[in-house]
Every structure is written in structure tokens, then in C-alpha cells.
Structure 1
Amino acid sequence: MLYNTASGTVLPLRRYEFLVVQTADKEIRYINPVLEDYCGLKDMSLRENTDILKEIIHPDDYPVYLEHLNSLTANSCKKDKVISVRIKKKDGSWVSFCFNDRLYNWNMDGNQLILSLVYPSESSDEMATKQLANNEYRHLLQALDEAFCIIEMIFDEDGHPVDYLFQEINPAFEKQIDLKNVTGKTMRELIPDHEEHWFQTYGKVALTGEPIRFQFKAGKINNSWLDLYAFRLGDHNSRRVAVLFHNITDHKLAEEQMKLAKEELEQNARKRQEELRESNILLQTVFETTNRAVAVFRVLYDESGEIIDFRFIKANKILLEMYKGQNILGKTYLETSKHAVKMDVYNELKKAVKEGNTFDKEIYFDKDGYNHWFRVTGRPQKDLLIATLEDITERKVKDQELKDTIRFKKQLVRTSPETIVILNLNEQNVRYINKDIYPEEGLTRKRILGTPIVEIIPYVHPRDRERVMEFHKKILKSADDDIHDIEVRLQLKPNRWEWFSVRGKVFHRRDELWVDEYVLLVRNINQQKETQKALINAEKFSIMGDMARTLAHELRNPITSIGMATEVLSKKFPDSQKNGSLKYFNILNNSTKTLNDLVSNLLNSANYNQTVLKKQDLTEILESTLKKASDRIYLAGIDIQKDYKGSHYVLADREKLEIALLNIIVNASEATVPDEGVISIEIKEEEKDIMLRISDNGHGLEKEEMERLFDAFYTTKKTGVGVGLNSVKNILEEHDSRIEVASEPNQGTCFRIYFPKLN
């Protein structure tokens, strides 16, 4: 009988006698031994003779059977096809058999295979007789709660078990495991990667006939644990195996959980035991090696429950030494410690035991040769009291010395003429500052404390910020004793930069690679800088003053003569000729006046005047300078190309800056070829500066000339004295402006001047 899992009804048993696995081109891959024995094929090799079916199927039936197989593979039929053919028994007689063929949905060796189930074409009477013979045990199997199945093993050409076919199952089968509609299918078709263990185990039972009982985890069937009993059905030729099993997953999981719980309990017990052992060893080690005197007391009570004393039950070496060799074990506190009783330690210990609190007190002891500070502690533990005694005299002395040192340092910091600043690099802020900087501008100690470092950067002059970052990096890489110095300009008042000397060193570090804080000593050296600058200027302008006065007096006479000659010539020219020459007479008059003004300025420059910087429009200064040079530009036929618009404000001494720019423009006009010269002027606002570019297409400069361009008294002109560009450099330095020059012979010269932005 077969159990139909779809309808739940019992079907008549169709006993499979033979099993054949062949390829679509009729090569035999497997024939079960029952068929081999039935047809006398025991001595034939599948490797040497793959067309075995042709040998055993009746010649009249064989073409029909081939057509039957071709129709199966050509249409890739999913249903079984049945055909009746005659097979030759080993005694030479022919018997009719049914071939139930279908495509084998698992590739044993990479080829499309056909699975054939071969059973006798029995008459109705024969079927009924067999069915009646099996009914009794069939009913028993169907009623079992235990799962049951009959499988036919399939082997490869080398005799290794590779698959098995489900021939029959009972209703309990699908209740025990998650496999549905398995009858007539192979395990490889159902679960291609099923564990190899199952095939090897059932194959061994089929080959040896030895039954086996085992438990195994079916990893591919929901990790189910199964308790199985497998035995062979039939004689030694049979490859059919009956399997009885039931699902024991819940039992196994419970068993595993109990095992894990037991192991965990045992492990925890071992761990706790080891911890206790280590704790006892540690406590004993601490008890004997600590620098404190340690005693364990048992609390003694009277009949009313009042504490009357403490008995020594344990003491370490340090405590015994303090008692000068006296045997205190077994004795009471009142018997052995009269001085401590007088200092009220006894009452404090009693109070600690009563309230269940820890006692901790520092006492000064100056009896019996001791002149020390002690720290006494007591901790109650049920009926025991653990007490310690520590000599803290050295720490007390150091604490006092430290307090004195801190008091001295605080006084030193308060009276220091320098500003002391500590920067915390973890919090990125000002952690300490000893005094106000400029209270009138709001830069007080209270306001600066806690200020983020990033908010301090704008107070540093833009030209100095890169050097400040290098200074910061040097401190981070330095040793604790290294000191680094830098001079920077800080803006503590609006539109006024002052020079400060900054000295820095590591104040606190976490380790060799990480600095937590460093300290800065900041001192205003602006007055000192100005004094140094005044001395340098005095020396420089003393030399230049002598030269200027000599040149000015020498120039006065020819300039006056040119002016007088121009005036006489203009009067002698007839009126009819004056109109054509009037333009040039005006140029001579204007140039004479300009030269007189320059001589006056030259005489004035012999006496140094302090540069006064104010907010000025660079565009207006440039336009005024071009107006003063307009006659020279006109006579030389120079084309002025302007690339600037609007206002561009800088801090400048207008008079001095005009002199510097006029020198550059006059030099540019003299360097160009008459009527071919081009002077290009551009003003451009950059991130930190306002850039002024003045370039020409003149004869340019050699490398040697470039290197000495701003040297005093150096000139390439035959009639020059080399004062102009040196004066330009000095004026721009006083404006805190940077000048750069680029030039190549016959390619022209370009001056770039960078003025700091007002903000």
C-alpha cells in the first residue's frame, strides 16, 4: 500500500522490482542487483557494455521502447510515462514488465538522466493476492506514530551510494520532518546538497544487510535531530532499505540547553572558586606587603549588647613593629593602646561599628619617641573590625612645602611684568591668564579666560600667522625644558599693530607624544622696536640727508635757469607762433615747478618724519600720482592701461606713498621706448591683501640688477644716484607692505605691492 499525501488515502501497493538509471542516449549508469540477477547480468560490466537494455528487451519491443524514451526527452515531459515490454529472464524465457520512466531531476555526472522503475505486468488476481498478503503489516505501519519510509539506494559506476528513491512513506512521515510529496522522488531531487552521511549510512545497510540505529542532525531539514533505525528489505540482491524514525529535536535542544547550563554552572563555580583563591592570596599579599599597619579585631560586647572592647586576632609585621615587639595578639585594644584611647580613637572606632560606617581620621602623635602624623581608618565587617594605621608625616611635610611653593608662585605670577597665558590643547582654549591686557579696550582677564584659541588668531598680524603656526609646532615637538621665542605683531587697539615678544614652553603633557598645555610669557616690546627703528632711520637718513642737501643745492641753479629761459623764450616768440608752441611752454613750466617741489621734498627728506598711517583710498592716491606724472607720460608717448574700479581702502601715509608710487611710475616711463611704451596698472583684492600691480614693456633688468635693485646708491642710469627705489622700499616697509619684482631683459618689469586689508 502507498500513502497518498495529497488525499490522505491508502493506495494499492505497486512493488518496484527493478531500478534503472540511464542517459538520454541509452547509456546505462545504474541497474539494481535484483534486475541483474533476474536477467543474468552479474558478469556484465556497465563500463564495457552500456547498451544492456538492448540485450534484455525483446527485439520486437525494443524499437517501441526507444521511441518511448525519445518522446520523453524530446518533450522534456514532467510526467511519468509507462510502457509494457518483454524482458528476458536468465533462463531465456520472456516476461512482460512495465517501465515507468521519467526525467531524473539531478545530474549524477553532468548528463541528462532518465529514471526507470520496472515492475511486473501482473494480472488483477496476482495483484490482489499480494495486496492481501501485505495488508496486515501495512495497516500497522499506517497507524504508527513513528515515521516510516522505504527507499531504494542508487549507486554510481564505482559502487558508491549517491542517491536514494522514496518508494513508500506512512502518514507520520510528513508530521515528523519538513519534507512533502516525496514518494517517487529521490533525495537529491528534493535536497541536492543533502549531507553525504545519509547516503553512506543507508548504502552500507543496503550492501551489508546489517541494521543500524543512530541519531543524527539533519542540517538541510531545518536542523532537525532524528532518532533512526534502518534495515534492509529483501535478500542480498536487494538495495531497498526501510527506515523507522521520530523527531527528537525538542528533546535534543532541551538536552543541549541542560548541558550548556550545567557547563556554565560548573564553569562559574570553578571561576568563583579561583577568584576566591586569588582574592585570598591577594589579601594575604596586601596584608603582608602594604606600607600600612593593619589589624583585624573581634568586637567584644557585654550582656546588654554594648561594645566594651576590641580583641586583636590578626596583625601584620608593620603594626607589631610599632608596638615594639609586644605580643598584642589575643589582647584587647584597651590593654595595649592607652595613648590612642586618650586621643579618642577608641570612641571613634566604637561609633563606626555601631553606625556601620567607615572611620577615617588624621592624628598627630608626639609620645614615646614618636613625633609623627598618622592616618587611622576602621571598617566594620559583621563582628569584625579591620583597622589600618599609616605614617603620613612625609606627605604632610611635602603638602606644606607644596602649599608654600604654590603661594610663592602665585605671588610671583601676580607681580610679574609679563602676561602669562596657559593654552589648553584638549579644550582648545585659554585655560589661564594672570592679568588684564588692555582693560580700556575690553581685553580683561575675565573676558579672555576660556576664549577659544581660534578666536585669538584674528588678533595676530596676517604676515605673522604662518610664523605663529611654526612656533606652535616647535613647542609640540620640543622637550619639557626647551624654550622657544618669537616676535609678533598683535592688534590690541583698532587700526594699530604693536610688537610683542612671546616665549613658550611645554607646561603639561600626557605622554611623550601628546602635549596637553603649554605656557606663554608675553611682553610688549613695541617701544623697544620703535626705538631701534628710530636709531636705524637716524643713521640711514643722516647719510641720505647729507646727500640730499648736496643734490638739492646743486639742482636749484639749473632748475631756476630753465625756468627763466622758458619765460624769456615765451615772451620773444611772435604771437603768430605762440599758439603752436604754447603746449610745450606749459610743459616746461609745469616740469620746472615739479622739479622745484621735488628738490624741496628732497631737502625735507633729509629730516626724518614719523609715518602716520590713516585710512586712505588707494585708488585716489594712484590717480593723484598719475596726474603728477602726466607731463612725463605725455612727452614719452606712453599708453596707460588701467584695471581697477571703485574704492580700495588701506592704512597709508598719503604723501609718502605718493612719492613711492611716483618713483616706480617714473622709472617705468624711463625704461620704455618713446611712443611705444605701455604701463599697465591693476588693483586686485585677495584673501588677506590688496595687490597693486605696475608693469611696463621696457628694456627689463638683468639678474645682477634685480638682486641689487633696492640697495642704497645703486643705479643703472648714467646720471642717477640710486636713491629712488631704496626710498620706495623704506616707505613700503613703514606701511607694512610687501613688494615683489619680476623682470627679464627686453621683456619689461612688473612691480607687485601687497597692502594688508583693513580687517
Structure 2
Amino acid sequence: MTNDKFDALQTSDMSYQFGSQINPPPHHPVFLVVHSTDKKIRYLNPALENYCGISGIWLSDNVDIYKKIIHPEDYSIYLEHLKSLGQGSGKEEKHISIRLKARGGSWASFCFRDRLYNWNPDGEQLILSQASLSDDFETTETSTQNSISNEYRHLLQSLDEAFCIIEMIYDESGKPVDYLFQEINPAFEKQIDLKDVTGKTMRELIPDHEEHWFQTYGKVALTDEPIRFQYKAGKIDNSWLDLYAFRFGDHNSRRVAVLFHNITDQKLAKEKMELAQIELEKNAKKRQRQLEENTALLQTVFDTTNLAIAVFRTLYDREGEIKDFKYIKVNKVLLEMYSDENPLGKTYLETSTHGFKVGLFDELKEVMKTGKAFDEEIYFNKKGYNNWFRITVRSQGDLLIASLEDITERKLKDQELKETIRFKQELVRTSPETIVILNLKDQNVRYINKDIYPEEGLTKERILGTPIADIIPYIHPRDRERVLEFQRKILKSDDDDIHDIEIRLSLKGNRWEWFSVRGKIFHRRDANWVDEYVLLIRNINQQKETQKALINAEKFSIMGEVARTLAHELRNPITSIGMASEVLEKKLPDSEKEASQKYFRILENSTKTLNDMVSNLLNSSNYNKTVLVRQDLAEIIENILEKASDRIYLAGIEVNKNYKGPYYVLADREKLEIALLNIIVNASEAVVPDEGIISIDINDQDKDILLCISDNGHGLEKEQKERLFDAFYTTKKTGVGVGLNSVKSILEEHDSRIEVCSELNKGTTFRIYFPKVNQGG
């Protein structure tokens, strides 16, 4: 479409005339934005201002513009009409005819099309109104359509370019803030991804549309200066548009006609072409730099390398056969080898008779004929040379490039290394320890030289490649934290530091054996990261058993002397108490015997218990190996409480039992009952008679069965608590300090840990942790 036709299209809007009227009705649509609550006009276009003579007055807060321009009979009807817009769905457009007062005082009927304005950044509800003379509205749905002649309408409808007419909307300060689509052609929706836009504003369609569009079209509508530009619509699929915009109508119009087409494909193609051109230029410059750098680098290498390098030109005879090679370039290293003469400019056969003898000349000819590189190690036995050389030859056109490297020292080191590796392999094979390498990157066993304990299934084949996490269950629960700390020490240590630990590993049938583990760093990635560390593992269970037997023998030798002394001193008083009880019972009158009968039974039971304890004490002086079998801890506690029932009854002690069971542990029942009875007896002696409370709790934890024995007795001081398990230490005036020391020894044989919590005048709690065993095994 030519600019002449655009000009004709612009002026066609002015063809609607009213003869020689003093104040003809506006031929532009009347356009308003009204607040729905206070009915204050936020914006109206110049067509209504000029027709009604209210230019600028509508901006005042104290002036009711509607009263000034609407016929008194229509005023309240129109207000009710505006009020009804908020009812129902609130989206439909409503029509109403009202009379407006012209500047000269005459009245004309206008048809208003009103709807809610679905965009407002201030949060206020606005109404968008369009009005045309009633006669115009009866003949067509919109006055805009009437403003374009049929000739140009047909043209616009058939264009491939998109076309639209928009009405600009300004705020009270005159800033363009939105525009209303009044008419589009069929090509509009084909060019951009905006559908069903007629009668809607751009802010309603795309609230965050770029400000550029409103400023550009707003300026065109005010200045009547058309503009042609290309711009990227970021909010419409990043489409590139080629646009021509001009004011549609006379100076009172705020409508803009826009003709445009989508040039995104062309733009992208152009951008790709420009980028490709830039990339080509960039790559060309890069290749040029690389070529220059490589040339300089090659020259530097040629001059500074330790290799002897020579470049030969091939010489042919008349039949085209290779007859020799001429030196055309050599470096300093090669010149030093030819100390007697400079080979440059001479031929290979003239200077290298030794090479000819070992067949090297034939190899050079083969490289030139086949193009296949030659790379071999050759032994020379020539005075001044060190025996072994690596020779590399490659062809390049009719040139040969040869390099010569003295590898004698490396050959000797390789031989030495092979001997060292063989020695280490023999050392590893004959080592009494199992050598294990743990890889921290892959988190597995990377190497193991032999079985750890083949009889129990801990074989090389089973352990190699095992994830580190899968090894943890084989370690005794009491040792796992120590093993983690052992690993942390290794990872923080220097390369020469060695760390040792003794741990227990699981074997069949709930059996554990002791192993000595020594570890150090094997390989580092850098100063802060260890990739691998090595462990030397040795079974020391027999050694531990021997040490334990020696310690027990010494300990029970001492205890035997003490036990025999105590037994001798205790037997007589116990016998006297028993005999006195029998005599006293016989001498009491029959009337008093029945009331005292329970106490005589307690004396009898206690005497028997003391005699049994003396016997046990004598037996304990002879060491019996602890045999651990699966036992119910709750059942053991019940049996102990039965044995201590007389003492508990006489002292008036309340016993609180917080357990149900079963709780399975590995125990030597007889020894464990002695140890736990000792603790309960001590608790009963620590409380005030008739006020004492002993609480017994058993809890099933993740790894242990926890037994807690608590009392509300006198408690212990810090020094007493620290020495509580020492041999021959006691807090009792008449005690000898053997009981709790024996308790600790028995619990150690059960692999159980005991802790003491105590507070003066509040009581003491013994916490004993037993390793848990499976319910079924």
C-alpha cells in the first residue's frame, strides 16, 4: 500500500460532515474512562471535550461533568446504568441511549457502549465507555467501521500485512497508559499470537506489555507524525515486527492506524547470518593466531628440545629410486652428536655409516615409500654414545623428519623399577599381615593380598571390591565409633604417620575375635585430599586371650587369698547367728512364736544366703571361664529380686519395675546374677529404711539392651564415683571393697559397659549396656 493511499485512508475519517452546523456532532467516537464508585471521569478524548465545550473542566474534583453534559431526564437513568455494570458476571457490554448537550445548547442522542475496564494498576474498578451518535450506531455495530470507506476496507481486508485501528487511553497527567483495539483485518491474527482482540485493551490482554508501545503510539496520536519502525515484541513470543503507524482522523482524534507484518524469521535468519559471519571471522583470526603460535612453538621446540632432530630431503636417481637423504635442517642436540663434522648440507650415507650397517637406511626408505611412521628403540655400541636410543621417523611430502632420543638412563631405571616391583610383590606375598587398600573415591576395597580368616568366610575373593559401608556390620558395635575416629586420624595425618587400633570382627555364631589394624596414607590426590589408605590386619585373638588369662590368674590369685580369709572369718559369725536363732525360737513362749515366725524364717533364709555367698566367694577365687549363651535379661532380674526379697521387705523398700521382655542378651547367668545382685544390694543399703525406692528399667535400643538400676539414696561424691570400681575401695565403714570391682570384671567378660550417675542426697543410677542379640538366634 502506497503512502498516498495511507493519506487517503487518514482523511476518509473526516468525510462524515454535518453541513454548516455551528457545532456539528463529533465524527470521532466519544471515548471515556470512568471510576465505577464516584463516577469521576479519569479520561475522555478530545471529541467529547470539543463537542460539549468542557475542555479541561473534567479534571476538577468538584465538578460533576455528567450533570453538565447529560440531559436532566437521562442523568439518573445513566447513573443506574453505570451501577448495573458491576452486577451479574460483570464482563458483558451494556448499551444505552442518552442525550448530550452540545456547546451551543442543542441536544443530540448518543448510544453508549459501556463495560468494566479489566486493568488498573491502582486497584480501582473503572468503566470503559464508547459513544457514537444514535443514527450511526443503528447502521453499524461500531462507528469506527463507518469511518473507513468500502473501497479501502476491501483493500485492508485483503492485505497480507496486519492492520488495526486503536484508540489511545491517557491518564490524568496526559501519559499514554493503554490502547483499545477498535478494528483489525484478518491478517492481524495470522501475523501475531493475539486472538479475539477487538473491543479489548492491550493492558487487558497483556498487563506487562512493554512501555515503548504506549509511548510510541501515544506520540503519534498527539503529534500527527507518522512513524515507521522495527521492534521486538518481547511479550508476544519475542516476535520482530515491521510497523507503520499514523494518526487516524483530524487533530481531535486519538486513534492510531497501524500497518505491520511479522519479520521474525527474517530477523532470526539475519542474526544467524551475522553471528555466523562473526564466528567465521573469529575462527579465521583464531586459526591465524594458532598458526603463528604453532610456528613459533615449533621453532622453540626445535631449538630447545632434548631430542636430536633432523629434516631430510629425499634424493632420487634417474630411475626414480631413492638413493639418499640430504640434511636440510638440524638442531643443536644433533650437532653435538656429530662432534667431528657438521652434517648440514651433506647426505645421510656420507655421515652415518653406522646407521647403514644396522639397516636404518632401509627403514628410512620404507617410511618414504609407504608413508608409515617408524618408531623403535635401537641398541648402539659406538664409542661416545650410551647404548640405547629411540628413533622416530615420519614423512612429510618429499621430506623426512627424524628425531633421536637417548633413553639409556630410562632403560636402566625401568630395569631397576622391575626389580623393585618384584621385590615388593614377594614381600606382600610373604607378609604375615593381610594387606588391604581402601579407595575413598569409589568407596570400596581396591586391593587385598590374601584371606583375613578363611575358616570364617573372610576370604580375599569375598572382600575384594566390597563397598566400605558393607564392612561396618562385621565390626563390633562397641568398636565402630573408634574405627571412624581411626579413619579420621589417618585422613588428617602426614604421609609418614602410622596409626594403630585393636578391634573385634564378627565371626559365625555370635562370636567375636580380636584383630590388630595398622593404617597409613597410601595415595593422595593433593595436599588436602586422600584417595587411598592401606591397612595391615593381623588376628591377635589368641594373644588377647593369653593376656586376659594371665591378668585373671593374677587377679584371682589375690582374690583367692582375700576370699579364704573372709570365708574363715565369716563362717563362725554366720553359724552363731543360725544357732542363736534356733535357740531363741525354741525358748519363746508359744503365744509369741506365731507373731515372730516370719522373722525367724528371714533369719534362716539370710543365714543360708550368707553361707551360699561364702561358698560362692571361695568358688570365685578359682577362675572359671565365662560361657555366654542367649538369656532373657528380664527373667534374670526377676530371679535376682526374688533372692533379695527378704532384704527389700525388711528395709521397707518400694521396687518399681519398668520392663516386660523378653530382652535377649549373651550372658553367663550365674556370674551375671552375682554382679547384678551386688548392685541391687548396694542400692538397698544406700536408701533410708521405709522411704527407699529402687527403680529398674530395661529399654531396647538400636544396638544395645540398656538396664538402669536407680535408687533415691544418699548418692556419691565426685571422688567416690571416680574410684567406685577400684579394688579394695569402699564407702562402707565395715566393707572391704571387693563387690563392685568384681561387678566390673564380670560385666567386662559380658562385653558390657557400665556407667554411674550420682548426686548427693538424691540418689544413684547404674546404666549397663548389653550388646543385643537376634530374637531368634
TM-score (structure 2 length as normaliser): 0.72
> Per-residue deviation at 1:369?
0.3
Residues 1:424 and 2:439 are matched in the alignment: yes
Answer yes or no: is the 8 Å Cα contact 1:18–1:118 preserved in 2.
no
Task: Work out the CA distance in 2 between the residues paired with 1:214 and 1:637.
Answer: 105
In the superposition, relative to structure 1, how do residues 567 and 392 fare at CA in structure 2: closer, same or farther (>3 Å)? same
The partner residue of 2:629 within 598, 615, 621 is 615
1:550-604 deviations in Å (ceiling 9; x for gaps): 3333334444455566677788899999888777666656555544443344344
Aligned to 1:754: 769
1:706-731 deviations in Å (ceiling 9; x for gaps): 34332322334343322222222222
SS in 2 for 1:609: coil
Answer yes or no: is the 8 Å Cα contact 1:72–1:81 preserved in 2.
no
Residues 1:512 and 2:527 are matched in the alignment: yes
Task: Work out the CA distance in 1 between the residues paired with 2:617 and 2:646.
Answer: 20
SS in 2 for 1:456: helix
Aligned to 1:690: 705
Answer yes or no: is the 8 Å Cα contact 1:150–1:167 preserved in 2.
yes
Aligned to 2:737: 722
Aligned to 1:14: 16
Aligned to 1:125: none
Residues 1:545 and 2:547 are matched in the alignment: no
1:185-208 deviations in Å (ceiling 9; x for gaps): 999999998877788888888998
The partner residue of 1:291 within 306, 309, 313 is 306
Equivalent residue runs for 1:358-377 within 5 Å = 358-377=373-392
**Partner amino acid for 1:504?**
G
> Per-residue deviation at 1:337?
3.0
Answer yes or no: is the 8 Å Cα contact 1:166–1:185 preserved in 2.
yes
Answer yes or no: is the 8 Å Cα contact 1:362–1:375 preserved in 2.
yes
Aligned to 1:709: 724
In the superposition, relative to structure 1, how do residues 586 and 277 fare at CA in structure 2: closer, same or farther (>3 Å)? same
Task: Work out the CA distance in 2 between the residues paired with 1:151 and 1:678.
Answer: 94
Answer yes or no: is the 8 Å Cα contact 2:74–2:98 preserved in 1.
no
Equivalent residue runs for 1:666-685 within 5 Å = 666-671=681-686, 680-685=695-700
Q: Bigger shift: 577-586 or 367-376?
A: 577-586
Aligned to 2:450: 435
Residues 1:732 and 2:732 are matched in the alignment: no
SS in 2 for 1:509: strand
Q: Bigger shift: 162-171 or 563-572?
A: 162-171
TM-score (structure 1 length as normaliser): 0.73
1:115-149 deviations in Å (ceiling 9; x for gaps): 7789999xxxxxxxxxxxx9999999999999999
Task: Work out the CA distance in 1 between the residues paired with 2:178 and 2:672.
Answer: 103
**Partner amino acid for 1:490?**
L
1:236-262 deviations in Å (ceiling 9; x for gaps): x79899989775837666655554444
Residues 1:471 and 2:473 are matched in the alignment: no
RMSD over aligned CA atoms reads: 5.7
Answer yes or no: is the 8 Å Cα contact 1:434–1:445 preserved in 2.
yes
Of the two, which has the highest radius of gyration?
1
Aligned to 2:88: none
Task: Work out the CA distance in 1 between the residues paired with 2:592 and 2:75.
Answer: 134
Aligned to 1:487: 502
1:350-369 deviations in Å (ceiling 9; x for gaps): 44444443332122223130
Answer yes or no: is the 8 Å Cα contact 1:740–1:751 preserved in 2.
yes
Task: Work out the CA distance in 2 between the residues paired with 1:666 and 1:137.
Answer: 116
Task: Work out the CA distance in 2 between the residues paired with 1:740 and 1:173.
Answer: 86
Answer yes or no: is the 8 Å Cα contact 2:388–2:407 preserved in 1.
yes
Answer yes or no: is the 8 Å Cα contact 1:151–1:168 preserved in 2.
yes
In the superposition, relative to structure 1, how do residues 12 and 138 fare at CA in structure 2: closer, same or farther (>3 Å)? farther
Q: Bigger shift: 147-156 or 676-685?
A: 147-156
**Partner amino acid for 2:382?**
K
Task: Work out the CA distance in 2 between the residues paired with 1:674 and 1:165.
Answer: 98
Answer yes or no: is the 8 Å Cα contact 1:218–1:226 preserved in 2.
no
Q: Bigger shift: 194-203 or 746-755?
A: 194-203
> Per-residue deviation at 1:104?
11
Aligned to 2:516: 501
Equivalent residue runs for 1:316-715 within 5 Å = 316-324=331-339, 326-492=341-507, 494-562=509-577, 591-606=606-621, 608-619=622-633, 622=637, 625=640, 629=644, 632=647, 648-671=663-686, 680-696=695-711, 700-715=715-730
**Partner amino acid for 2:721?**
M
Aligned to 1:127: none
In the superposition, relative to structure 1, how do residues 99 and 260 fare at CA in structure 2: closer, same or farther (>3 Å)? farther
In the superposition, relative to structure 1, how do residues 98 and 349 fare at CA in structure 2: closer, same or farther (>3 Å)? farther
Task: Work out the CA distance in 1 between the residues paired with 2:668 and 2:208.
Answer: 93
**How many residues are matched?**
722
SS in 1 for 2:288: helix
Runs of 5+ consecutive residues of structure 2 not aligned to the other structure: 6-11, 18-25, 61-67, 86-92, 137-148
Task: Work out the CA distance in 2 between the residues paired with 1:678 and 1:394.
Answer: 86
In the superposition, relative to structure 1, how do residues 342 and 635 fare at CA in structure 2: closer, same or farther (>3 Å)? same
In the superposition, relative to structure 1, how do residues 385 and 13 fare at CA in structure 2: closer, same or farther (>3 Å)? farther
1:683-726 deviations in Å (ceiling 9; x for gaps): 54433233344445555545554343323223343433222222
Task: Work out the CA distance in 2 between the residues paired with 1:576 and 1:184.
Answer: 119
1:300-322 deviations in Å (ceiling 9; x for gaps): 55666655444444333333333
> Per-residue deviation at 1:508?
0.7
> Per-residue deviation at 1:475?
1.0
SS in 1 for 2:306: coil
Q: Bigger shift: 480-489 or 709-718?
A: 709-718
**Partner amino acid for 1:290?**
T
Task: Work out the CA distance in 1 between the residues paired with 2:707 and 2:189.
Answer: 94
